[in-house]
Amino acid sequence: AQSVTQPDIHITVSEGASLELRCNYSYGATPYLFWYVQSPGQGLQLLLKYFSGDTLVQGIKGFEAEFKRSQSSFNLRKPSVHWSDAAEYFCAVTSGTYKYIFGTGTRLKVLA
């Protein structure tokens, strides 16, 4: 079955520190991969997407993610976290069916 795993439910980092959020997927077809961010009471905003090509993709707000097929991973990174990055982050996967499957999310807390 297709699935997405985000192993960290909560992560706390200090402002200015680097960040890595983990995402692993199980998907039989060639995956298309995404990261979304959700602030409290809001909808989800697309941060970045991977369809093919360069395995390191750049997104909005200074985020990047790297697709590693051998590890079935698509981890999200940011070199220096800002207090405004505190939110919940979701990894998602789809393929040619365009049915999006989401992970359970990682809640990021940023310490001043």
Give the binding site for another protein (CB under 8 A). Answer: 6, 34, 36, 42-46, 49, 51, 90, 92, 98-105
Give 81 or 91: the residue with its C-beta nearer to another protein.
Answer: 91
| Nearest distance, CB of residue 17 and another protein, angstroms | 25
Q: What is the DSSP string of 12-27?
A: EEETTS-EEE--EEE-
Give 85 or 94: the residue with its C-beta nearer to another protein.
Answer: 94
Give 46 or 56: the residue with its C-beta nearer to another protein.
Answer: 46
| Nearest distance, CB of residue 80 and another protein, angstroms | 25
| Nearest distance, CB of residue 109 and another protein, angstroms | 16
Q: What is the DSSP letter of 80?
A: S
Closest CA to 77 of 13, 3, 2, 20: 20
